């Protein structure tokens, strides 16, 4: 007879599978982009410069969340709360910069209802923003949990899962940016 | 309770491994549960499985009834049925189903049966019920997420159900929802709000499937009891595992297709639309391609076929071995063939698109891959037949439905070889031959697998037996009826009779099939009535069926039969049993069956 055995925490496992799922959705989008690109009425245009700034922001947020994991394990809870707040804030800034990019495109006559090449940028980037904001919500949950007094959490699983997801949306954006830059 | 359980009072949570940490799973059966927490928002995988099953049965009745309604139109195109008006109102004026209602019924029939019954109802039920029980886990990796999976399905059901009652009717562009019918609100009456509700419902459904799939994979890979190596798992679990992998990798692609469809519908984009005229007026959409949607749809749509059939295959393997009192033949080959099917399922989607102007060279590539699927499928059929060959077969309803599954899988699968050839498909595409093929191989087979599972695991679910006599009647009428319904459709299809035609009788070419369609429709009504017999048997047996007195009524080897007859949340009252052997030790060394929990003897061979 034996007790329940676990190897990796189930939540970590589930997250990796979920990331595979999300990746497949974006593969669906980018595959559709490639198919459309080979067809008529494909308009080539420059991506907004602000996207590169937002890339720097999300890269920085990956650093801050990794530091948050480190200080959590060292039980520096004050620093930990600061870092996850900063990460969430950087996530919101990233989303805001992406929206700024949209307004920049619209100002140049590149609207959502325009050519498919433009529509794809709006849809793909918007879907990525939604995933980043999902991560922000998760970080806010972590933030409030860090203030609870009736339960002291010593398990780093929560923040490790959040960090893994955050690095994932970061890497996903890098992939999307390179893809959208190269596949013009 | 779960590993997500709220911890009250001043506590400390350590560690990163414990599904059992922070609370005692041994207490599952003892902590106070309200009606709501036990039967509604339950986190017990067994209750969630029952919720999936009963919701699936409700949907199956609705979906099957829709098929009866449109078969009335096909079988009796010139006959008026005044009672139809009392059911369908203005959709059946003067007792005749209108063309719009016909297309809506066909669309909803396909959607409901494919997604809500044979995906959620079948996989959702048995993956939930059997995975923790057969791998030796207290519950799913994330019971809370498991609960969410059901409630997302329930929400999807509510939205889909509500679409039946909107003024303009439900979606009517076919279960595949091809643009432009699905992308333009003005295309038809069924393209209006009904289509929006259809997409919303399907999006919720995809979320439900993803949450479920994540859980199934995590639980199987991560929460097996001691000794339960991957090669000691029952084939049911392997089948559920590959089904979940298919789901989590293909449903997101469908979701991406739906998102683009929504933008085309409401944001003026042109992903799928180009050069469209509505009522003589040119729309501004340019550069879109409806074929793009087909690629995205069928990238899910074909794996979906296997998402439906793999769980049935797994359960049939299990039921046949148990009721033949023989080990499953070719256990590793069965796993290998499941894996091969899983891989190939992702590589054949374009065989649904042979007539879309696909490059013939590319078509040949997809023909080859499609025909390759016949190899692992044939391996499985061979192994099922050799499993029951010279077995000491107990012809329980479950065993009969399993044998029926093998029969329909063979006869339906063989016609797939026809359709998999692009040159033949050019003639057969969108004819009744296709309808006959996929209804037998995917619809009837999967239903037979589901029935086998229900009859076989009903005692584990409810602590009672279903009525055998009603089960036999159910089996024989359904088997014979299914062949009588779908076999003649092959001939109609070969003669070119197209699917999705509201009234074939206005074509000279197809009038010859009037009697045949008349006959098919009568059989459909009879088979539907027989399914009501099953529904009666199911619900009656829950409350009045013969009670189980033995925790292992089928003399099976797997872990689910080591739990008490009425297992609480947590499944095992004490510790989880350890596993020592594979799950198919039947008639070994003169012993009828040896449970997985029995250690291997000193002079005993491995298999």
pTM, two decimal places: 0.93
Closest Cα in chain B, distance from residue A175 (Å): 17
pLDDT grade for A38, boundaries at 50, 70 and 90: confident
User: From residue B601, how far is each of B247, B559, B581, B598, B606 by CA, in Å?
Assistant: 40, 19, 11, 9, 9
In degrees and rounded to multiples of 5, residue B186 shows phi and psi of -90, 0
Residue B278: inside a domain:
yes
pLDDT of res. B280: 85
Tokens at B561, concatenated: 């039969």
Residue B477: inside a domain:
yes
Taking the C-alpha atoms of residue B352 and residue B92, their distance in angstroms, rounded to an integer, is: 33
Residue B606: inside a domain:
no
Residue B576: pLDDT over 70: yes
pLDDT of res. B16: 40
pLDDT of res. B8: 38
pLDDT grade for B9, boundaries at 50, 70 and 90: very low
pLDDT tens digit sequence for B440-461: 999 999 999 999 999 999 999 9
pLDDT grade for B11, boundaries at 50, 70 and 90: very low
pLDDT grade for B31, boundaries at 50, 70 and 90: low
Full residue range of the structural domain in which residue B526 is found: 44-593
Residue B287: inside a domain:
yes
Give percent of chain B with pLDDT exceeding 90: 86
Residue B29: inside a domain:
no
Neighboring chain B residues of A1 at a CB cutoff of 8 Å:
574-578
Q: Which of B19, B249, B271 sits opposite A119 (nearest CB)?
A: B271
pLDDT tens digit sequence for B143-172: 999 999 999 999 999 999 999 999 999 999
- Please state, rounded to an integer, the average pLDDT across all residues of chain A: 90
pLDDT tens digit sequence for B87-130: 999 999 889 999 999 999 999 999 999 999 999 999 999 999 99
Q: Do A156 and B16 touch (CB under 8 A)?
A: yes
pLDDT of res. B23: 39
Q: Best of B252, B263, B301, B358 to disrupt the A interface by mutation (most A CBs within 10 Å)?
A: B252
Taking the C-alpha atoms of residue B455 and residue B444, their distance in angstroms, rounded to an integer, is: 16
Residue B36: inside a domain:
no
Residue pairs spanning A and B at CB distance below 8 A: 175
Residue B14: pLDDT over 70: no
Q: Do B289 and A35 touch (CB under 8 A)?
A: yes
Could you report how far apart the first and last alpha carbons of chain B are, in Å? 38
Q: Are strands B11-13 and A151-153 parallel, antiparallel or unpaired?
A: parallel
Taking the C-alpha atoms of residue B239 and residue B245, their distance in angstroms, rounded to an integer, is: 10
CATH number of the domain encompassing residue B307: 1.20.210.10
Burial of residue B282, with CB atoms counted within 10 A of its CB: 0-12 exposed, 13-18 middle, 19 or more buried: exposed
Residue B336: pLDDT over 90: yes
pLDDT of res. B15: 46
- Mean of pLDDT values over B15-33: 46
pLDDT of res. B514: 95
Closest Cα in chain B, distance from residue A50 (Å): 24
Residue B7: inside a domain:
no
Burial of residue B401, with CB atoms counted within 10 A of its CB: 0-12 exposed, 13-18 middle, 19 or more buried: buried
Q: Which of A2, A14, A157 sits opposite B575 (nearest CB)?
A: A2
What is the dihedral sign for C-alpha B331, B332, B338, B344? Answer: negative
pLDDT grade for B20, boundaries at 50, 70 and 90: very low
pLDDT of res. B151: 97
pLDDT of res. A11: 85
Residue B4: pLDDT over 60: no
Chain B residue with minimum CA distance to A119: B269
For residue B425, give every residue at least 6 positions away whose Cβ sits within 8 Å of its Cβ, in sequence order, or none.
B351, B354, B355, B418, B419
Q: What is the CA radius of gyration of chain A?
A: 19
**Considering its fold, how many domains does chain B have in total?**
1
Taking the C-alpha atoms of residue B447 and residue B125, their distance in angstroms, rounded to an integer, is: 13
Residue B556: pLDDT over 90: yes
Q: Quick check: helix, strand or coil at residue B580? A: coil
- Please state, rounded to an integer, the average pLDDT across all residues of chain B: 92
pLDDT tens digit sequence for A137-164: 999 988 888 777 666 777 889 999 999 9
Taking the C-alpha atoms of residue B298 and residue B341, their distance in angstroms, rounded to an integer, is: 16
Residue B13: pLDDT over 60: no
pLDDT of res. B544: 96
Residues comprising chain A, all counted: 184
Give the DSSP H/E element, type plus range, for residue B11: strand B11-13
Residue B14: inside a domain:
no
pLDDT of res. A150: 67
Taking the C-alpha atoms of residue B578 and residue B225, their distance in angstroms, rounded to an integer, is: 6
């Amino acid at each position: 007879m034996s007790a329940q055995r676990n190897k990796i925490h189930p939540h970590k496992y589930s997250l990796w599978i979920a990331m595979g799922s999300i990746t497949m959705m974006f593969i669906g989008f980018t595959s559709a982009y490639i198919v459309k690109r080979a067809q008529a009425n494909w308009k080539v245009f420059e991506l907004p410069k602000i996207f590169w700034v937002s890339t720097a922001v999300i890269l920085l947020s990956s650093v801050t969340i990794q530091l948050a994991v480190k200080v959590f394990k060292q039980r520096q809870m004050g620093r930990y709360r600061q870092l996850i707040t900063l990460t969430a804030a950087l996530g919101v800034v990233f989303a805001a910069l992406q929206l700024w990019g949209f307004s920049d495109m619209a100002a140049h006559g590149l609207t959502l209802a325009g050519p498919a090449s433009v529509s794809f940028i709006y849809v793909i980037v918007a879907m990525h923003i939604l995933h980043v904001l999902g991560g922000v919500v998760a970080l806010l949950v972590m933030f409030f949990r860090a203030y609870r007094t009736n339960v002291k959490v010593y398990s780093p699983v929560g923040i490790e899962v959040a960090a893994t997801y955050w690095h994932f949306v970061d890497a996903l954006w890098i992939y999307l940016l390179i893809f959208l830059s190269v596949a013009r | 309770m779960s590993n997500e359980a709220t911890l009250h009072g001043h506590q400390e949570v350590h560690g990163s491994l414990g599904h059992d940490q922070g609370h005692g799973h041994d207490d599952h059966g003892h902590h106070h549960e309200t009606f709501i927490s036990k039967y509604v928002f339950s986190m017990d995988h067994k209750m969630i499985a029952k919720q999936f099953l009963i919701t699936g049965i409700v949907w199956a009745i609705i979906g099957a009834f829709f098929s009866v309604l449109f078969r009335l139109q096909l079988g009796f195109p010139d006959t008026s049925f005044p009672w139809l008006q009392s059911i369908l109102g203005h959709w059946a004026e003067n007792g005749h189903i209108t063309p719009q209602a016909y297309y809506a019924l066909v669309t909803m029939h396909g959607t409901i049966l494919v997604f809500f019954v044979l995906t959620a109802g079948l996989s959702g039920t048995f993956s939930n019920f059997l995975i923790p029980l057969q791998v030796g886990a207290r519950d799913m990796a994330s019971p809370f997420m498991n609960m969410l999976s059901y409630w997302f399905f329930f929400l999807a059901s509510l939205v889909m159900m509500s679409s039946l009652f909107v003024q303009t009717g439900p979606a009517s562009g076919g279960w595949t929802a091809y643009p432009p019918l699905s992308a333009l609100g003005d295309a038809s009456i069924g393209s209006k709000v009904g289509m929006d509700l259809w997409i919303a419902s399907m999006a919720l459904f995809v979320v439900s499937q993803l949450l479920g799939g994540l859980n199934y994979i995590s639980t199987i890979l991560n929460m097996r009891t001691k000794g339960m190596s991957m090669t000691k798992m029952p084939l049911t679990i392997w089948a559920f595992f590959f089904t979940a992998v298919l789901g989590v990798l293909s449903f997101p692609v469908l979701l991406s297709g739906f998102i683009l469809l929504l933008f085309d519908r409401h944001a003026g984009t042109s992903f799928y639309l180009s050069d469209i005229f509505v009522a003589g007026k040119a729309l501004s959409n340019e550069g879109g391609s409806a074929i793009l949607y087909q690629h995205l749809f069928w990238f899910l749509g074909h794996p979906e076929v296997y998402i439906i059939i793999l769980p049935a295959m797994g359960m049939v393997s299990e039921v046949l071995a148990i009721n033949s009192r023989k080990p499953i033949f070719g256990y590793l080959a069965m796993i290998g063939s499941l894996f091969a099917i899983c891989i190939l399922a992702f590589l054949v989607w374009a065989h649904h698109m042979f007539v879309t102007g696909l490059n013939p060279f590319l078509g040949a590539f997809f023909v080859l891959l499609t025909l390759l699927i016949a190899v692992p499928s044939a391996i499985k059929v061979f192994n099922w037949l050799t499993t029951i060959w010279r077995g000491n077969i107990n012809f329980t309803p479950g065993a009969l439905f399993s044998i029926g599954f093998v029969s329909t899988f063979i006869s339906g699968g063989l016609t797939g070889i026809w359709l998999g050839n692009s040159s033949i498909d050019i003639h057969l595409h969108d004819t009744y031959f296709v309808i006959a093929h996929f209804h037998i191989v995917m619809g009837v087979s999967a239903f037979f697998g589901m029935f086998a599972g229900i009859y076989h695991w009903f005692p584990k679910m409810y602590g009672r037996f279903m009525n055998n006599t009603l089960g036999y009647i159910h089996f024989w009428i359904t088997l014979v009826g299914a062949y009588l319904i779908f076999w003649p459709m092959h001939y109609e299809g070969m003669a070119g009779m197209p699917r999705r035609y509201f009234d074939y009788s206005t074509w000279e070419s197809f009038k010859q099939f009037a009697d045949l369609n008349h006959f098919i429709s009568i059989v459909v009504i009879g088979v539907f009535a027989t399914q009501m017999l099953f529904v009666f048997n199911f619900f009656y047996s829950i409350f009045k069926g013969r009670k189980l007195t033995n925790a292992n009524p089928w003399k099976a080897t797997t872990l689910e039969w080591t739990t008490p007859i009425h297992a609480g949340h947590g499944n095992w009252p004490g510790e989880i049993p350890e596993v020592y052997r594979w799950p198919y030790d039947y008639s070994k060394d003169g012993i009828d069956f040896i449970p997985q929990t029995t250690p291997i003897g000193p002079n005993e061979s491995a298999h």
